[in-house]
Amino acid sequence: MNQIFFLWIEEYLFYPRLFQKILSFILSPFSILYLLIILLKRLFSIKKDFKVPIISVGNLIIGGSGKTPMIISLVKDKKDVAVILRGYGRVSKGLYTISKDGNILHDVSISGDEAMLLAKSLPNATIIVCENRVKGIKEAIRLKKKIIFLDDAFSKYSIKKLDVLLIPKIEPKNSMLIPSGCYREPKFMYNFTDILLKDGVDFKRVVKYKLGSKFINILPTKLLLLTSISKANRLLEYLPKYTKIVIFKDHYNFNHQDIDNILLKYKNYSIITTSKDMVKLEQFNISNLYLMHLQLEMISSSKLTKIDDYINSFY
């Protein structure tokens, strides 16, 4: 039932059918009010300059558009860098330094899945979670980090920064703001970013499969995709047509009962999952747990020179 509900919500937000369009129209006054609040906040916010290069990587819609793998791609070759994110799905609150120069200090329950994936993927970086991005920035400066990346901070109008926005390969048919649609800011805000990167035009997703530490070319014939990421059906593009799928809500923290039930129901199936889910599933010692290893490959790298120019302007 939960899976059906999550799929219905995503359909309503991104690709609504007739009844969902009617519901979207009914809720449109709330979207208009939300729009007014956004515009007023943006108009009256005063940007604070922290005197360090701050780069935000975000999107306008609810759910993933490749922010985490894009941050990994942009940060992996840089030194003295901190990545700050809210830490969705974590049981903790407040500020935590999840990893310091590659040394992981907390487990995934404290960090949340995205922060742990960043910590494991970026051994030269420091990963900080905090609901308050300003506090996170001050902590990064205290730790003497020379470059700061913010996850999903386009709407943090009071911070002086370079904004990178990602556009999904297939854009939603519903262009309304929440709660009538999937946009967190109006679509015309794409015109107010510093760098705009479109999936399939400026970068592409490259998916390979791993079992343990080894890359493989052939997947089992009985395969179950287990995931808790937004818009999970998009993953089926990279998997065989016979793949079954079990979806939990975005950033869901799996428990032993969940895993026991799935292993019982799909006892003859091998399980495949995403990198973001793997950091939560590896604790359950699932045998033959396959990984969809996603990397972003830049098609148009010329836009990224603006990031280096921005960083160099500080030093």
10 Å Cβ neighbour count for 220?
A: 18
Amino acid at 80: D
Asked if residues 109 and 90 have their Cβ atoms less than 8 Å apart, the reply is yes
Token output for 234: 């998009």
Query: Which residue ranges form the domains of the chain, and what is each CATH number?
Result: 45-202+299-312 (3.40.50), 204-297 (3.40.50)
pLDDT value at residue 218: 93
Mean pLDDT of 143-161: 96
- Note the pLDDT tens digit of each residue in 21-48: 999 999 999 999 999 999 999 999 999 9
pLDDT at 261: 94
Residue 155 — pLDDT band, cuts 50, 70, 90? very high
Give the residue from 168, 189, 147 showing the smallest Cα distance to 56. 147
Which amino acid would we find at residue 172? Answer: P
pLDDT tens digits, 241-284: 999 999 998 889 999 999 999 999 999 999 999 999 999 999 99
- Residue 176's Cβ-count burial label (10 Å; 0-12, 13-18, 19+) is buried
Distance CA 212, CA 289 (A): 8
Tokens of 155: 């709407």
